[in-house]
Amino acid sequence: MAINPPPKTCLHCGQLFHRRENERLSDFKKKKFCDRSCSASYNGRMFPRKITISPTGGILPCQRCSAPIQLKRAARGGYYKRKYCDSCLKRSLSEHGTTVIAKNTKEYQAKRINVLSLTKAELFSRRKNWQSARTSIRNHASRIYLASGGRKQCAICGYSLHIEICHRKPVSQFSDHALISEINAFSNLIALCPNHHWELDNGLLLLKELDAGLGVAPSDRSV
């Protein structure tokens, strides 16, 4: 039975707001505002960014190279604080192992990892840990499945509110030399609800049973 909690009052505008359809009860209990606009307005007023009053018209020297910095003016008066110029900021980040690259540039595109061209071993070696590598494979599999026109519903029960893109042949059964393009091939992907995904991972659901027509017939499957 669905629980309908009483409405809550927005901290910013004071209007009542109700729990939305399909919204989890735990998420509704945490909400304090009716929408994001009220949240941004309230937090911007209650927790403003630090500003400084500059007697030199918003121009201060960089603390590293003494080059003049034009501070950004705040709407409520004064200027937003800043310590370093752009060059010194990039140099400081570079010294700490962080690289600042503008998006939509050739350098940025060259730095991006083309997951499809990597092998399983290469992808795992480039990620910080095992979980990060598996997350990359799952996210890429979801993009491949949706971009290829796969059905957004469980292939067995037809549930469509939440689906998970699964691998018909598990990632662990591929060799380290297998390409990600082979692992995430559309023919190796299938959409299942969380329950049937768990059954597949735990051996309670066999793919040959699925192909035999327990859910969607092989001729009708989009995977």
Average model confidence (pLDDT) across the chain: 79
- Rounded to whole angstroms, the Cα distance separating 79 from 66 reads 18
Tens of pLDDT, residues 49-70? 666 666 667 788 888 888 888 8
pLDDT tens readout for residues 67-95:
888 887 776 667 777 788 888 887 776 66
- Element holding 201 (H helix, E strand): helix 194-201
Angle at 123 (CA atoms; ends 118, 124), nearest 5 degrees: 155
Candidate ranges 75-84, 174-183, 197-206; pick with highest mean pLDDT = 174-183
- For residue 222, what pLDDT band results from cuts at 50, 70 and 90? very low
The candidate with the shortest Cα–Cα distance to 42, out of 18, 74, 79, 10, is 10
Q: What percent of the chain has pLDDT over 70?
A: 76
Q: Fill in the amino acid letter for 165.
A: I
The pair of three-digit structure tokens given for residue 124, joined into one six-digit string: 């795992």
Instruction: Report the pLDDT value the prediction gives residue 219, as an integer from 0 to 100.
Output: 39
Distance CA 176, CA 124 (A): 9
Lowest mean pLDDT among 35-44, 86-95, 98-107: 98-107
